[in-house]
Amino acid sequence: MKNWLHTIQQNKRLQALIVGLYIVVTFFSLYLAQKSVVAFLLLLSSLLLLYFTTFSNRVKWLIGGLVMVVLLPLAASQGEAYQSYMEVATLVGIYIAMALGLNIVVGMAGLLDLGFVAFFALGAYTYGIFATGQANNFMPFGHYPLSGESFWVFIFIGCFVAALFGILLGVPVLRVKGDYLAIVTLGFGEIIRIIFNNLDKPVNITNGAMGLASVQPPRLFGIDFMYPSQFYYIVLVILIAVIFAVRRLEFSKIGRAWKAVRENEIAAQAMGIHLVKTKLMAFAVGASFSGMMGVVFAAKQTFVDPTSFTLLESITILVMVILGGMGSVPGVILGAALVTILNLQVLTELTNWLNQLSLNGVISVPDALSPAKMQRFIFGIILILFALYRPQGLLPAKNPVFNEKELKDTDKLVNAGVQKEATQHVHLDS
């Protein structure tokens, strides 16, 4: 088996053949069998297969882009289930961006944040309040709801608001040691939810537990974005920007500072890293991704209420990071996709199937055991098992390895700067 894998790894043409064949087969199976969720998931997992190939990064991105932009929507668009497939794909994108944000805080900087969904809520409410009539209650000027064209601006406003609150939360909290931080952020998440739930008096800002209904859909060149198939592309664009940003940050000066702080705060400080600034940066960047996706989420659901932002959501995002591998960008993407699909597709399908079986009288499964209710159980098990047996996650984080010989080579000292950068790129690709 190992030999066999090794030969495949050596032979690029063979890899291309396998990946191409896989994509074609799954594409046509989804194209022809529209109701098959399995085919949809298999087509999605072609991206994972692609990740394991040894192509250069550019080729991987090109093929991946082709699958995401053209093949997946095209294959899914042939039946009634089109919108529900795209809904799943959109939510996967939203959660991936959030998990990448939390990955910066937990995985890279080593600060356990258990109230991460608060930033998502801030983003969602920022757009929700101004894109419904709600803002009329307290804004002295302007007409509300704002038109859907403002959505594009609000993506950046949501990003900014969340980052601001990340810093506001960080300033007092970061004087506290690691394990207290978990509790304080947990408290913060709950506080934000309680405040949104009760901020309908004295001035009605968030409409309390009733939530904000009929949020304006985004609009571009006179086209309203109403359906998941349209939101899919918005999310895709933002997601690619986020992945790009995370990849660049990870190997930048600040990214290395985050990792140093994670490994040992005091030692990092001794190496001249400004602790508070570094940690605040992690909080702000992580929160900003979440805030951005909050805006998209509000526009997609056209409805915002406090029940979407409970502790369970925060833990769900944490599970994504732990499952995929703390600090590893591809891992977290995989983890987020797995958990979201498990939540949205696998559990509901299983529940339906079991209900069907009980209806037919094959077996009787008590209502208490229905898989849709078992989220906490599953997440608990995942957290415990991964922490105990595989703390590095499914796809562990890789640190770039430098070729010592090449760096020491004095002949190339003149080009040392260029050389260093080149080697770094080579190893990022792998």
Partner 1 sequence: MINEVLHTLPQVLIDGLTLGAVYAIVALGYTMVYGILELINFAHGEIFMTGAFVGTAILLTFAGFGWLASMPAIVALILVLVVTSVVTGLLGMGIERVAYRPLRNAPKLITLITAIGVSFLLQDIVRFIAELKNGNYILTGPSLFSGQIGIKASSISSIFNDASVKSSFFIVLIVAVIMMVTLDFFVNRTKWGMAMRAVAQDRETAALMSVNVNKVIALTFFIGSALGGATGVLFAIQYGTIDPYIGFILGLKAFTAAVLGGIGNIRGAMFGGILLGVLEMFAAANLPVVSHGILGAEYKDVFAFAILIIVLIFKPEGLFGKVSVEKV
For partner 1, the binding residues (CB under 8 A) are 106, 110, 112, 114, 172-173, 175-180, 182-184, 186-188, 190-191, 194-195, 197-198, 201-202, 264, 266-267, 311, 315, 318, 322, 326, 366-369, 373-377, 379-384, 387-388, 391
CB of 112 to partner 1, least distance (A): 6
Apex 114 CA angle, 110 and 117, nearest 5: 115
Under a CB-based contact definition with an 8 Å cutoff, are residues 298 and 208 in contact? Answer: no
What is the full DSSP assignment across 283-331? HHHHHHHHHHHHHHHHHHHSEE-GGGG-HHHHHHHHHHHHHH-TT-HHH
Shortest distance, position 372 Cβ to partner 1, whole Å: 12
Give the Cα separation of 153 and 252 in Å (integer).
Answer: 28
330 or 393: CB nearest partner 1: 393
Nearest distance, CB of residue 312 and partner 1, angstroms:
9
Q: How far apart are CA 104 and CA 102, in angstroms?
A: 5
Q: Which is nearer to partner 1, 180 or 353 (CB)?
A: 180
Beta carbon of residue 245, minimum distance to partner 1 (angstroms, whole number): 24
Shortest Å, Cβ 306 to partner 1: 11
Tell me whether residue 177 or residue 405 sits nearer to partner 1 (CB atom): 177
As measured in angstroms, the least distance from the Cβ of 202 to partner 1 is 5
**Closer CB to partner 1, residue 76 or residue 326?**
326
Q: Which of 242, 291, 303 is nearest to 119 (CA)?
A: 291
Q: Give which of 135, 259, 129 is closest to 196, Cα–Cα.
A: 129
> Closer CB to partner 1, residue 368 or residue 414?
368
Between residues 6 and 390, which has the closer beta carbon with respect to partner 1? 390
CB of 383 to partner 1, least distance (A): 3
End-to-end CA distance of the chain: 22
How far from the centroid of its chain's Cα atoms is residue 251's Cα?
19
Query: Please, which residues have CB within 8 angstroms of residue 215's CB and are 6 or more apart in sequence?
Result: 127, 128, 131, 132, 145, 298, 299, 301, 302, 303, 304
Strand partners, 212: 304
Least separation in angstroms between residue 387's CB and partner 1 is: 4
Q: Nearest approach, Cβ of 40 to partner 1 (angstroms)? A: 28
How many C-alpha atoms does 213 have within 13 Å on its Cβ side?
2
Cβ nearer to partner 1, comparing 151 with 196:
196
Structure tokens of 235?
């999310």
Tell me which residue of 381, 379, 377 sits closest to 368, measured CA to CA: 377
How open is the CA angle 124-72-235, to the nearest 5 degrees?
Answer: 20
**Alpha helix stretches (DSSP H) within 325-403:** 329-341, 347-360, 375-389
Residue placing its CB nearer to partner 1 in the complex, 298 or 336: 336
Closer of 145 and 286 to partner 1 (Cβ): 286
